[in-house]
Amino acid sequence: MLNQYLTNIYILKNNVCNLYFNIKGEGSSQVLKDLLKDLDNITKFYLSLGSLIKKIGSSPIMNLDEIKKISSIKEISSQDYTTKEALNILYNNLSIINRMNNQVGEYALKNFKFSSINLVLEFNKYLEKRVGELNMSNQPIRNLN
């Protein structure tokens, strides 16, 4: 479960980078700033989660072919995206991660120490806040995944 979550975070991180490099149009400068903040939060969590997986005696999945097979988030194409398209993609990706984060949180409560649970809870706060912001600013949201 943790490795599937890690692979989803990896694809999310790549998708955010892709959006950052390829966003075009009105409002893109503010969205770019927000994407950098998202990337920082996601990368910190990704590294912490990988370290946790190693700490509990497993190996984080790092092979790109395996990541693509396991992840439930799909990579986006390298192409231009409008701000609306970018926000839709980000909303949908973060929503998937948020649902999975809740499952991982329940799993962590049963199987790990408090520090591990705290890691998931902190990321959950970020996800809840960001998904809420995207939902409010980006009506209507369409599912692109």
Provide DSSP, 65-81. HHHHHH-SSPPPPSS-E
pLDDT digits (tens, 9 = 90+) for 29-87: 889 999 999 999 999 999 989 998 898 889 999 999 999 999 999 999 999 999 999 99
pTM above 0.75, yes or no: yes
Average pLDDT over residues 120-142: 80
What's residue 122's pLDDT? Answer: 85
Domains in the chain (CATH in brackets) are 2-137 (1.20.1260.10)
- 140 pLDDT more than 50: no
First to last CA, the chain: 20
What's residue 145's pLDDT? Answer: 46
